[in-house]
Chain A
Amino acid sequence: DTGVSQDPRHKITKRGQNVTFRCDPISEHNRLYWYRQTLGQGPEFLTYFQNEAQLEKSRLLSDRFSAERPKGSFSTLEIQRTEQGDSAMYLCASSRAGTGDTEAFFGQGTRLTVV
């Protein structure tokens, strides 16, 4: 087990293009989260899955953003018609559901630059 894996690590795209990021969580973790981090700020919550069900979505997740976790394993985050304001680090995290609560483990992130 090598932790949470995100691909790609960096993405440069032109404004108006669509981009898709992938996250592979730690294998036994059934909770998966997406966060966005901009320079000088802490991560901001975007969305949360338990298994394949998307249970929470932030108001930050506009209709240009969509996330899926079709088989309850890996997840994808798609941004349509990218804007310069979408430039940020997109972080994926996973945790194990169970009694009590456990910490979330983060991947190294995908840095998106919209030009």
Chain B
Amino acid sequence: AQSVAQPEDQVNVAEGNPLTVKCTYSVSGNPYLFWYVQYPNRGLQFLLKYITGDNLVKGSYGFEAEFNKSQTSFHLKKPSALVSDSALYFCAVRDTGAGSYQLTFGKGTKLSVIP
């Protein structure tokens, strides 16, 4: 069975500082990995994905994530945080070895960027 862990319920960072939101996963086959962001009273917005190829993927709004197969991690990063980045972030995985198209999401990490 596929699973995702986001070990931090909340991350606080000062504006202008780098941020990291952690994600680890478990799958039986090869993973497809995704990050989504959710603002209050809004749906999930896609940020970036890892399917294959370069382990460092770049996405929207200056975010990037690094796929680490040996550590089964896919941490989200941004070099310089903005107050407007404050939101709920979800990591998701699809197990290509399971023959399924469903995404399994983590519980989410609330990011607060302090001015």
Taking Cβ atoms with an 8 Å cutoff, the residues of A that contact B are 4, 31, 33, 35, 40-45, 48, 50, 55-56, 58, 91, 93, 100-101, 103-109
Contacts and interface: CB of A to CB of B under 8 A. Distances in A.
Contacts of A35: 103
A49 B90 CA distance: 23
A24 to B, nearest CB: 13
Contacts of A42: 4, 90, 92, 105-108
Contacts, number: 56
Query: Among the interface residues A42, A45, A58, which one has the most CB atoms of the partner chain B within 10 A?
Result: A42
A43 B105 contact: yes
B49 interface: yes
Contacts of A45: 102-104
Given A48-B101, A101-B94, A109 B106 contact: no
Contact of A101 (B32, B46, B104, B108): B32
Given A56-B100, A101-B32, A43 B90 contact: yes
Interface stretch (B12-20, B36-44, B69-77): B36-44
Contacts of B106: 42
A103 to B, nearest CB: 5
A40 to B, nearest CB: 7
Contact of B44 (A41, A56, A106): A106
Contact of A40 (B34, B100, B104, B107): B107
B43 A56 contact: no
Given A31-B101, A42-B107, A56-B101, A109 B51 contact: no
Contacts of B32: 101
B107 A33 contact: no
